[in-house]
Amino acid sequence: MYLTFEEFNTFLNRANSIFHMSNLDVALAITLTFLIAYVVLRIKVLSDMGVKIIAGIFYVIGLLWLLGMNSSSFIYWRHIGEIPRSITIAATIILVTVSLFSVFIMRDLIKLMVMERKLGVEWYPLIVSAYFVIVLTQNLIVQYDLSFTSAWISIIYVVTALLWIIFGFTRRYSFIRKAGLGLALLSVIKLFIIDLAFLTQGYRIISYFVLGISLIAISFVYQYFNKRLELKMGEGPDA
């Protein structure tokens, strides 16, 4: 990791001084932390409880580190025209890779906890998908300079709520269905209390229209799957 950072810093020094590249160092460190734990867990000769615990600690450190990095004031795309193309490509690859890799790492970590019976099976898809939404929100706000008051964030949350409800019905996970309804309610509250205060008249109309369609879709899907579930439960073994 030390040798990698030495070469990487030499590469980054060619960037314009107005752009702070320190977070790319952090992103590379997080990627290597994930990679070490991910690879070691898949080497059967080394696979024992001690290695699993160490890898799990690496996973937690990397995930918290990434959330901390994405919470900092690191606006990458605002300066994209001010730095060399090679730096732009490297930065894009690193930031996308570490974000996607972290989702698989979270999946491995939660799966390990479910297998050890530390968590119920319903928590597995809920936590992994919720983490993905959090990382996506952070990247849109911090890396793409998108405001939290943007209607796009609310739309992402509504779509996530709809997917949770569908998944909860298909797998008969009541907890995920309730989480989907809760997220849909929070999205509506966010729209009316936060988003609309910062939108122009035209964008307000569009936001009402899109969110209204989404909520109607959620209501329709929930009622549809709920009736199907009631019919299946009412058939019984002799039906």
The 3-state secondary structure of 147-209, one letter per residue: CCCCHHHHHHHHHHHHHHHHHHHHCCCHHHHHHHHHHHHHHHHHHHHCHHHHCCHHHHHHHHH
Query: Residue 238 pLDDT more than 80?
Result: no
Which pLDDT score is estimated for 4?
A: 63
Share of the chain above pLDDT 70, in %: 72
pTM of the predicted structure, to 2 decimals = 0.71
Averaged pLDDT of the chain: 76
Q: How far apart are the first and last CA of the chain?
A: 63
Residue 236's pLDDT is: 47
Pick from 202, 204, 205, 163: nearest CA to 180: 163
**Contact criterion met (CB below 8 Å) for 162 and 217:** yes
**Tens digits of per-residue pLDDT, 95-136?**
788 888 889 889 888 887 887 777 788 888 889 999 999 888
Confidence of residue 41 (pLDDT cuts 50, 70, 90): confident
What's residue 234's pLDDT? Answer: 58
What pLDDT shows up at residue 209? Answer: 77
pLDDT for 235 beyond 60:
no
pLDDT band at 239 (very low <50, low <70, confident <90, very high): very low
* pLDDT score, position 17: 43
- Tell whether the model's pLDDT for residue 2 goes beyond 70: no
- Measured over the CA atoms of residue 173, residue 170, residue 184 and residue 154, the dihedral's sign is positive
Q: Which pLDDT value is given to residue 205? A: 74
More confident residue, 92 or 173: 173
pLDDT of res. 85: 66
